[in-house]
Structure 1
Amino acid sequence: MEWYHVGGGLLTLLMVLISLGVPLPFALAAASLPFLWLIQDFSTSLISVELKIWGVWVDYILLAVPLFVFLGELIARSTIGPNLYRFMHRGVRVRGSAAYGSIGACAGFGAVCGSSMVGSLTIGSVALPEMLKLGYGKRLSAGVLAAGGTLSVLIPPSLILLFYGIVVDVSIGDLFIAGILPGITLTTMFAIVVVVWGIINPESIPRVDNALRMPLFEIMAAVLPILVIGLVITVSIYAGIATPTEAAAIAALLTLIIAVAVGNLRWEGLKSALLATMRTMGYLGLLLSAGTLFGFVLTYHQVPQQFTEAFLTLALEPYMVLAMVIAFYLVVGMFLEPVSITFITLPTLFPLISSVGYDLVWFGIIYTITMEIAVLTPPVGLNLYVIQGLAPKEIALKDVILGVLPFIGALAILIALLLLFPQMALYLPELAS
């Protein structure tokens, strides 16, 4: 069977299964099996499936995933995240401080947790009612929090960068370092969006936020936990003291201690964090296993290699190839969530990007930004539903969608900046090497 028959058949069968409502991990595995049976008998294919599943669950690098998820859940169920928002809001007595505080809190949260949805939910659950009570516009309030959650995906540690590094087989440490400058730039751009929004639509931002100043003790309790956890992750990885997995383990233990000591985490909160982590990893583990099997079948039939060779015969300029790939991800991101996109499409497309001469670390940052846009675009924009679900009576889904549009514009501008100035992503990894 020709490679394009296999590739087309896999994709068609996968889309049919998804449209029938089959959960994605099972759809990936079910689509892979018929084409696995073309090359192996039934008993041998069972062994292959078992080996692929076992290989995912015992992979040392992948141990970082549940640890970072657990870390984020601990923060979400303690007062660490909410306290960070209150500090960012009350500590800056300027017009729009609650909006700027939301962005700053999301950025700070992103420095210790790599999940966009957890970031939006943790900060949004505190910030959204506060912003609405203070008189901020519904669209600005919803937009800044839905978009702010995406900072957790770009600012290291990032689960998407971690998955990207596993699929593409590039240094996760380099990817994390590469996300720092773009992450800081994006945080600044989001703040600029709020400034411009206030100029164009001044009634969306109250003149002065009537919030009481925080006492020094509360400021220390808000800032120090995030600062310490972030420094432990950053320094241990970038100084070569620990691998990302070891850093995640140390940071998760440290977060647990801090959450109990100063974050008011109690047994019920810890139990909820453990259960939420197990639920998340149950899904992610199945998805990783099925994605690995899917990639194995693709690679065995040489679909990525043949696709790359066929595409290169078109003799397109490298920038045209890159533009088509980015456009593809922007469209696919409207219908699938980022983790699924990573394991379905990257095995086929990253050889193409590499073959036309682009650096895979740099492309990893571009790819991650397109995934940030994916969680903000309907009909499957996860962050849209997270924020709308926090205040379903006050905010309609339409308000959230319109609220994120300027922030999507900022994300598009960041992609353009990275295309024009690749060193934004490559300078720090080169400096560290």
Structure 2
Amino acid sequence: MDSNTAVAIILSASVVLMMLGAPVAVLLAFSAMGGIFLITGSVQAATGLLLATGLTVGSSVAYLVIPMFILMGALASHTGIVRELFDAAYKAVGRIPGGLAVATCLASAAFGAVTGSSVSAASAMTKVALPEMRRYGYSIRLSTGVIAASGTFAMMLPPSVMMIFYGVVAQQSIGKLLISGILPGLLSVAMFIILILFRSWANPAMAPRGPKFPAAETVRSSLKASPFIIVLVTLVGGMLFGLWTPTEASVAGVLLVGVIGFLKRNLRWSKFFDAGLDTVVTAGTVFLLVIASILFGKFLALSGITTTLTEAIIALDLSSFQLFCSLLILYIVLGTFLEGISVIALTVPLVLPIVNEAGWDLIWFGVIIVKLIEIGAMTPPVGLNIFAVQSAHPDVSSNDVIAGSVPFVIMEIVILFILFFVPDIATLLPSLMD
């Protein structure tokens, strides 16, 4: 069959099945196999490519980074780190107007950087931070909005599963991608804090002052949370300066977090087992998506559609800024009804040749993609962080969470344009690894 006809059939069927709720990994795998069969007329070619791709992914040591970082995050979640991080930030800055919301941002950034899970960060911070903000009379929209928004820091700051997945699909250095998220992630934290402080200044009733604590108590709280921060800085610093690979860092992270948990006596064997079970389920899902997305990319390459699409975009003679704005709109729309990893799996094989032709740095583009996925986590109807907050505190209206997230979504778009005009924010640290 003609390759253009095969692509049209497969993509049309994929869209219909996706709208009917078909699992994305299964959908991509069967779409790719069906497309390869239509083009080659050979069942053996389709099944052989599936088996070869699965074997390559399953036997590669490089992919060990995925389950290891997931396990590290799962172990950290079971150690009570959320309470310790929030408590430290709460006692340091809670006394200023908007301070509890700022503390939530700081604690979410630290927790997200240890776990790499946006939904886990939003859910955990809702249980810890929301009761405190409500107790001091914070606006429910500001409270829930900042929790949903700051949970997305986990997607950008290492060890980001989203960055790792992009690196696999785009065939880019996972180490450089993880490091590339540090400065953009810190920029997001700073911009969110500025937004909170400005809104608190403009409307003091929205975010009153919290309690003031003695300096000694603030120091004690900081010391309790410091082991996890030290682990994080050690792992990231080691990758940045080439002391170890991301895979080695992920294994070291699991060991260090496990040791800290046992020394603190809040990580029993039952919790270790639960963390392992969570890891198997999550990593299994990610690996299925990895295999399916690689297979789907091979189908698109075989069909020639990526070349055709690239030539069509070139013919439009768009400026770099126009192309950026077009992709921004595309990904924001996709993010409203698709989960982040699914967006990467579906679009990156198609978009990457266009990005290459535009001469954009693929590490920088990974940061842009993840930033766009952060927006998707805060926008309905899929918006996973919105529903993580709502489900963790059922008496909170999802409408309040959505309304509270809007100012942070606008700030995310501002950050995207900053990253476009100042790409060194994303590429500076990875360049030091060369």
TM-score bin (small chain): over 0.9
Amino acid at match of 1:362: W
Offset of 1:43 from its aligned partner?
A: 3.6
2:62 corresponds to which residue? 61
The answer to whether residue 50 in structure 2 is matched with residue 49 in structure 1 is yes
**Distance in 2, Cα, partners of 1:157 & 1:261:** 23
From the superposition, tell whether residues 228 and 290 of structure 1 become closer, same or farther in structure 2 (CA, over 3 Å): same
Deviates more, 1:261-270 or 1:320-329: 261-270
Amino acid at match of 1:257: V
Offset of 1:212 from its aligned partner?
A: 8.1
From the superposition, tell whether residues 326 and 3 of structure 1 become closer, same or farther in structure 2 (CA, over 3 Å): farther
From the superposition, tell whether residues 229 and 6 of structure 1 become closer, same or farther in structure 2 (CA, over 3 Å): farther
From the superposition, tell whether residues 263 and 62 of structure 1 become closer, same or farther in structure 2 (CA, over 3 Å): farther
What does 1:175-214 align with in structure 2 at a 5 Å threshold?
175-209=177-211, 214=217
Q: Retained in 1: the 8 A contact 2:92–2:218?
A: no
Offset of 1:243 from its aligned partner?
A: 0.8
TM-score, normalised via structure 2 length: 0.94
Q: Retained in 2: the 8 A contact 1:221–1:262?
A: no
Offset of 1:263 from its aligned partner?
A: 5.7
1:12 corresponds to which residue? 12
Secondary structure of the corresponding residue to residue 115 of structure 2: coil
Amino acid at match of 2:223: M
**Distance in 2, Cα, partners of 1:24 & 1:229:** 35
* Alignment partner of 2:143 out of 141, 149, 156: 141
Q: Retained in 2: the 8 A contact 1:376–1:408?
A: yes
* Alignment partner of 2:290 out of 277, 288, 291: 288
1:238 corresponds to which residue? 240
**Distance in 2, Cα, partners of 1:23 & 1:237:** 34
**Distance in 2, Cα, partners of 1:52 & 1:315:** 36
Offset of 1:217 from its aligned partner?
A: 4.3
1:268 corresponds to which residue? 270
**Distance in 2, Cα, partners of 1:28 & 1:201:** 49
2:81 corresponds to which residue? 80
**Distance in 2, Cα, partners of 1:7 & 1:46:** 18
**Distance in 2, Cα, partners of 1:361 & 1:326:** 17
From the superposition, tell whether residues 6 and 315 of structure 1 become closer, same or farther in structure 2 (CA, over 3 Å): farther
How many residues are treated as equivalent by the alignment? 431
Offset of 1:218 from its aligned partner?
A: 4.1
2:154 corresponds to which residue? 152
Secondary structure of the corresponding residue to residue 428 of structure 2: helix
Offset of 1:209 from its aligned partner?
A: 3.2
* Alignment partner of 2:99 out of 77, 89, 97: 97
**Distance in 2, Cα, partners of 1:406 & 1:121:** 20
Secondary structure of the corresponding residue to residue 91 of structure 1: helix
The answer to whether residue 206 in structure 2 is matched with residue 220 in structure 1 is no
Runs of 5+ unmatched residues, structure 1: none
1:120 corresponds to which residue? 122
Q: Retained in 1: the 8 A contact 2:306–2:350?
A: yes
Offset of 1:210 from its aligned partner?
A: 6.8
1:414 corresponds to which residue? 415
Deviates more, 1:347-356 or 1:131-140: 131-140
Q: Retained in 2: the 8 A contact 1:136–1:204?
A: yes
Amino acid at match of 2:224: A
Secondary structure of the corresponding residue to residue 75 of structure 2: helix
**Distance in 2, Cα, partners of 1:370 & 1:265:** 35
Amino acid at match of 1:141: S
Q: Retained in 2: the 8 A contact 1:3–1:306?
A: no
From the superposition, tell whether residues 212 and 130 of structure 1 become closer, same or farther in structure 2 (CA, over 3 Å): farther
What does 1:319-334 align with in structure 2 at a 5 Å threshold?
319-334=321-336
Amino acid at match of 1:389: S
Deviation sequence 1:269-321 (CA, Å, 0-9, x none) = 21221111111122212222222221221111122122112221222223222
Q: Retained in 2: the 8 A contact 1:150–1:372?
A: yes
Amino acid at match of 1:301: S
**Distance in 2, Cα, partners of 1:78 & 1:219:** 16
Q: Retained in 2: the 8 A contact 1:73–1:118?
A: no
1:387 corresponds to which residue? 389
State the superposition RMSD in angstroms: 1.9
Amino acid at match of 1:248: S
Offset of 1:33 from its aligned partner?
A: 2.5
Amino acid at match of 1:430: S
Offset of 1:179 from its aligned partner?
A: 1.7
1:315 corresponds to which residue? 317
TM-score, normalised via structure 1 length: 0.94
1:363 corresponds to which residue? 365
Q: Retained in 1: the 8 A contact 2:136–2:210?
A: no
